[in-house]
Amino acid sequence: MTVLIRGGTVVNADRAFRADVLCAGDKIVAVGDNLEAPPHATIVDAGGQYVMPGGIDTHTHMQLPFMGTVAADDFYTGTAAGLAGGTTTIMDFVIPDPRQRLLDAFHTWRGWAAKSAADYTFHVAVTWWDDSVHEDMGTLVREHGVNSFKHFMAYKNAIMADDETLIKSFRRALELGAIPTVHAENGELVYQLQRELLARGVRGPEAHPLSRPPEVEAEAANRAIAIAAVLGTPLYIVHVSCAESLDAIARARARGQRVYGEALAGHLVIDDSVYRNPDPAYARAHVMSPPFRSPQHQAALWQGLRGGNLHTTATDHCTFCAAQKAAGADAQGQEDFTRIPNGCGGVEERMMVVWDAGVNSGALSPCEFVAVTSANAARIFNIYPRKGLVAAGCDADLVVWDPLATRTLSAATQFSKGDVNVFEGRTVRGVPTHTLAAGKLVYVNGDLRAEQGAGRYVARPAFTGADAGGAAGAAGMHGAPATMAAIP
């Protein structure tokens, strides 16, 4: 397929300029003025619109088996929904059960993901430790294109990594040129607070945020940062939701530590009043970890994105329908909030929500929008400039963006599966009109043409001395000096 996108303004993280974009096969082949249309090319008129790199969602959980159920969106429906929102690559998570070989889990997830409509890649979680984990981490980096390992510091009695696991895994990641990432919450503290709340009869979804106050997150963020500092590893903290964690990142960065932070679209725009809604189904629909926070925390996250202490935006897309969320109540109506499957959606809405709340408000420029929706992710996880840039030679993953068009987000009209939308009723200005994935027009003005199995696995090379300019370059250099040209 040959596609010529004509008359738009190309927006990259570093600059915006008027140019046509020509795509042939799965690559961008030319970016420039008045490009000539090859015979049989499909022409997209982008007049008055922006042409940006397709979004990279650094954090999704398609069809995740979790808390006794399985997330509703599978790799096909979830990636297709992403394409409808301008996201062309997802970074999902392989999460082995404790004692399960990492390689076995990796192959299971690869099988599930074969039906993806968009490109995908995996962080692999280290949920336990022994010599086989050490060995499998090496195989994953060297033979399977994995350069990031995830550690859940929460979810005690399930997938929580203890300090021994964190330290051994961070050290191993450094040795391999991979970047450790953490879900930062003190799982023991969460567990104890949950038990106390249940014992006091505070059992409904309103108890969820009370069991996970900002200090719970900040303690774990500070601990992970301290471990990374001692071992000399870079660190990426997923779903930073509160000012206290952000402060920990800012302090570490001011000391010269390579710490990167991710903000979720939901945490940026939804506040904790959702847990006090009198409708328990509504409140349960918003149960995710870390929980939604007060508006002061939201303001801090926007400052972090603009000020450079937060680098990526993601969604933690992990959808459960109302019936699954109802696991929090038994037949007699007795609630136990600790049983509500944790997770919310957003892969379809992220770009629109971040544009509407970020760019329209002046909090972010269009170039900064590209930085936090694709370019920084590509740099941190070593797939730049294949992804995250509009230039000849890059993947033809593009979104054509109408800054004036509006859309009202709703479960009734979403492509994502399920009956819940945490952005329900929000009208956004700035929406994708066309999405190109690997050079194919997969979304055109409401017409989703996602193709099951068209997505490709994206292997991500380890960081070595030669790519020290990459964000996490020091990982492969054992702490030797590295230039930081890649990250603003």
Q: Note the residues at the interface with Zn ion (CB under 5 A).
A: 183, 316
CA-to-CA distance for 90 and 381, rounded, in angstroms?
Answer: 12
Contact partner, 378, from Zn ion, ligand URP, none, Cβ < 5-8 Å per class: none
Taking the CA atoms of residue 344, residue 395, residue 357 and residue 409 in that order, the dihedral angle to the nearest 10 degrees is -50
* Shortest-Cβ-distance residue relative to Zn ion: 183
Q: Shortest distance, CB of residue 385 to ligand URP, whole angstroms?
A: 28
Q: Shortest distance, CB of residue 381 to ligand URP, whole angstroms?
A: 17
Examine residue 194 and tell whether it contacts ligand URP (CB under 6 A): no
Burial of 483: CB neighbours in 10 Å, binned 0-12, 13-18, 19+: exposed
Q: Which three-class secondary structure state does DSSP give residue 71?
A: coil
* DSSP letter assigned to residue 395: B
Nearer to ligand URP, 349 or 395 (CB): 349
Assess contact for 324 and 341: CB atoms under 8 A: yes
Identity of residue 336: D
DSSP 64-96: -EETTEE-S--HHHHHHHHHHTTEEEEEEEE-P
Q: Shortest distance, CB of residue 99 to Zn ion, whole angstroms?
A: 20
Q: Shortest distance, CB of residue 108 to ligand URP, whole angstroms?
A: 17
Assess contact for 245 and 188: CB atoms under 8 A: no
Nearer to ligand URP, 381 or 401 (CB): 381
Site size toward ligand URP (CB under 6 A) is 8
Sole binder of ligand URP in the list 304, 343, 358, 476 (CB under 6 A): 343
Per-residue binding string, ligand URP, 19-58, x by CB under 6 A, is ----------------------------------------
Taking alpha carbons only, the member of 437, 374, 453, 448 closest to residue 414 is 448
CA-to-CA distance for 63 and 179, rounded, in angstroms?
Answer: 25
Q: Shortest distance, CB of residue 384 to Zn ion, whole angstroms?
A: 23
Q: Shortest distance, CB of residue 153 to Zn ion, whole angstroms?
A: 9
Sole binder of ligand URP in the list 183, 258, 350, 440 (CB under 6 A): 183
Sole binder of ligand URP in the list 342, 376, 382, 414 (CB under 6 A): 342
Beta strands at 259-264 and 312-314: parallel, antiparallel or unpaired:
parallel
Structure tokens, 370: 């590209």
Taking alpha carbons only, the member of 90, 145, 93, 122 closest to residue 374 is 90
Polymer length of the chain: 488
Q: Shortest distance, CB of residue 105 to ligand URP, whole angstroms?
A: 15
* Shortest-Cβ-distance residue relative to ligand URP: 342
Nearer to ligand URP, 6 or 183 (CB): 183
Contact partner, 315, from ligand URP, Zn ion, none, Cβ < 5-8 Å per class: none
Q: Shortest distance, CB of residue 61 to ligand URP, whole angstroms?
A: 5
Taking the CA atoms of residue 249, residue 253, residue 259 and residue 262 in that order, the dihedral angle to the nearest 10 degrees is 50
Nearer to ligand URP, 344 or 370 (CB): 344
Q: Shortest distance, CB of residue 350 to Zn ion, whole angstroms?
A: 14
Examine residue 318 and tell whether it contacts ligand URP (CB under 6 A): yes
Examine residue 61 and tell whether it contacts ligand URP (CB under 6 A): yes
Structure tokens, 11: 């927006």
Nearer to ligand URP, 77 or 181 (CB): 181
Site for ligand URP in 270-289 (CB under 6 A): 288-289
Helix locations, 200-213, DSSP H:
207-210
Q: How many CB atoms lie within 10 A of CB 276?
A: 10
Assess contact for 313 and 260: CB atoms under 8 A: no
Contact partner, 288, from ligand URP, Zn ion, none, Cβ < 5-8 Å per class: ligand URP
Identity of residue 141: V
Residues that bind ligand URP (CB under 6 A): 61, 183, 288-289, 316, 318, 342-343
